[in-house]
Structure formats: structure tokens, C-alpha cells
Amino acid sequence: MTEMPEITQDKVDSVFGQLAKMEIQLDENPLAFGPRRLNEKISHARGMLTDCEGIFLQISHHLQKYRSAHRAASVALDLEKKNLFANDPEVRAGRNYNDRDAMASMKLKEEVEFLAGIQSGLDDLETLLTVIKAKRSDLKDIQGRIRDQIKLCQEEIGLGARWGSRLPPGSPQPNLDSEPPTENTTLRDLQDLFSGEVVSVVENTESHDSLEAAFSTDSTESDAFLDGIDVEPRKSVQDLDDLLKDFDL
């Protein structure tokens, strides 16, 4: 006889727990959350449906084994009873059929208990299979509803609507205070730096030191360049008077 998997109450509860987690809530306005959320729901629905199909195949396989074992055990028990009815003097001494059947069942107590255990597991598997089929139909219906939402979103976009970027319900809000402040050099600091004044900045001291070194080097070279240029001195007021006399002004 084929070895049968044991169907316990813990295993039945585990299957019910897995099916209870396979749930997807549809958004009332999916356009406001953007296309990524719809894509995530499609992926989740497909994954849950795949898991549900896997459970369905497993339970169906167990059910086939139990049905086969139940048929074999029923035939074996029926043959054993008929043998007792025909050959056992104690069973044949029964006053009616019910008495003889009861006496034969007591003599075949192990076989009767084995058949009853198989019947109990068979009932549990059939119950699980019914629930799994219902969950599978529900997930397929959710897939169809998501496709309908996609079509409606496309129609709204055709009418001028746009995808939104609202955070999904339950998503953590970004904490801007947790980000370290960024020290930026302002225009006033740059003007003070070019004018030669000292700029006090707490952050980015290394970059300011390198800038000051670069400007000091450039100022030395520019001073040497300017010293080599002969600049004509400015004319005094007397020279200007002589120049005006030349022009008879």
C-alpha cells in the first residue's frame, strides 16, 4: 500500500492560515498612486495565485492517495467480514444480520479503526480542497479587477488626467530632519573671500584652506606681472592748463 501523508489538525490549521494571508486590497483611486503601485499589485496577485496553485496540487495529490487507500481498505474489510460470516461459528450464531455485523466488527477492530482514520483524513482533504478552490477563484477575480482598473486609468489619462505620486496608505513618511544639513558657501562668503577678508565657516575647512592657498599664489604672480608694466603717471592740473592753451580753448 502507498504510504499516505498524515493529515493532522495542525496541518489543516496551517493551510487555512496560509490562505487567510492571501489577500489584496484594491485602491479606490489607483491613478493617484502612480503605475508602480498597480504593477506591485499585479505581481503580488500573481505570486499569491502561484502559491495557491501549489497548495491545490499538494492537497489534490494527498486526496488521491487517501481515496485510493480508502477503496483498498473498504474492500479488505468487506472480504474479512464475509469470511467471518461464513466460517466463524460465533459470528454465525448471531440472531440477525446486525448482531453478526457487530460481532464481526469487534473481531476486525484494527481494520475498522484504520478505515475510519482514512475516512476522517479524506473528509479534511475535501474540505481543504473546497476552500482552496474558493480562494483561487477570488484571486483570479482580483486579477480581473486590476485589469479593469488599468483600463480605467488609461481612459482617464486619455481625458487629460495624469499619474500621481501619493504615498500608499501605511507607508512611512520621509524624515527630513534625519538628513545631515549641507553647508553651502553663500554669495556673501564668496565676495568676502575675493576681497581678502577672513571667512569663518565651520564645515568644509579643508576646501577653504585650499582656496585661500590658490588665491595667495595667484595674487603673488599677478603682483609680479603688474610691477613689470610701466604705467604713465596721471597728469597734474597745471599740465592740463598748458594743454588747453595749445588748443586755444
Q: What are the residue ranges spanned by the domains of the chain?
A: 9-158, 185-229
**Nearest residue to 204 (alpha-carbon basis) of 183, 181, 189, 179:** 183
Q: Does residue 168 have a pLDDT over 60?
A: yes
Residue 202 has what pLDDT?
44
In which band, very low, low, confident or very high, does the pLDDT at 132 lie, cut at 50, 70 and 90? very high
Helices and strands, counts by H and E, the chain: 8, 0
Cβ-in-10-Å burial (0-12, 13-18, 19+) of 90 comes to exposed
pTM above 0.75, yes or no: no
pLDDT digits (tens, 9 = 90+) for 169-208: 766 655 555 555 555 555 566 566 666 554 444 444 555 5
**Domain with residues 9-158, CATH architecture:** Orthogonal Bundle (1.10)
8 A C-beta contact, residue 153 and residue 30 = yes
Q: For residue 234, what pLDDT is reported?
A: 52
Residue 99 confidence class, pLDDT cut points 50, 70, 90: confident
